[in-house]
Amino acid sequence: GQQVMQIPQYQHVQEGEDFTTYCNSSTTLSNIQWYKQRPGGHPVFLIQLVKSGEVKKQKRLTFQFGEAKKNSSLHITATQTTDVGTYFCAATGYQKVTFGIGTKLQVIP
C-alpha cells in the first residue's frame, strides 16, 4: 500500500535558524498536502501541491514537490516561536490519503 516516510521526527532549532522537513514516497503521488498542528490543537491545512516540480511560497514557508512526484519538502526560513508545532505531509493517490508521522518542531527563543 501507499506509504509516506517523513523525516526528521523531531527538530529543535534556535529562533532565527532555518528548518526543513522532508516527505518521501515509494509510489507516484497524485498530490501532496501539508498541515500544521499546534500543541493541543488539530491539523490545519497549509497548502496543496499538484504539479511535478511545483514550488509554492507562503511568507517564510517554501513548499516543493519533486519532479517525479515522489517527494516533497517544507522549508521555513528564519524560524519564529510561532512556528512551533508538528508539520505533517499527506499524500493522496489511488483513492487513499496517507499522513506522514509528522515532524515536531521546537523553536528555542
Q: Is 97 in the site for other proteins (CB under 8 A)?
A: yes
Nearest approach, Cβ of 69 to other proteins (angstroms)? 15
Q: Is 100 in the site for other proteins (CB under 8 A)?
A: yes
Chain centre distance of CA 93? 17
Q: Is 98 in the site for other proteins (CB under 8 A)?
A: yes
| Beta-carbon contacts of residue 42 (< 8 Å; ≥ 6 apart) | none
Q: Is 85 in the site for other proteins (CB under 8 A)?
A: no
Among 5, 15, 45, 68, binds other proteins (CB under 8 A): 45
Cell of 16: 532565527
Task: State the DSSP code for 43.
Answer: -
> Which region, judged by CB under 8 A, interacts with other proteins, from 15-23, 27-35, 55-63, 66-74?
27-35
Residue in 14, 8, 34 with CA at minimum distance from that of residue 79 = 14
6, 7, 59, 65, 90 from 3: Cα distances, Å: 10, 13, 30, 16, 10
How many residues bind other proteins, per CB under 8 A?
A: 21
Interface residues toward other proteins, by CB under 8 A:
30-31, 33, 35, 41-45, 48, 88, 90, 92, 95-102
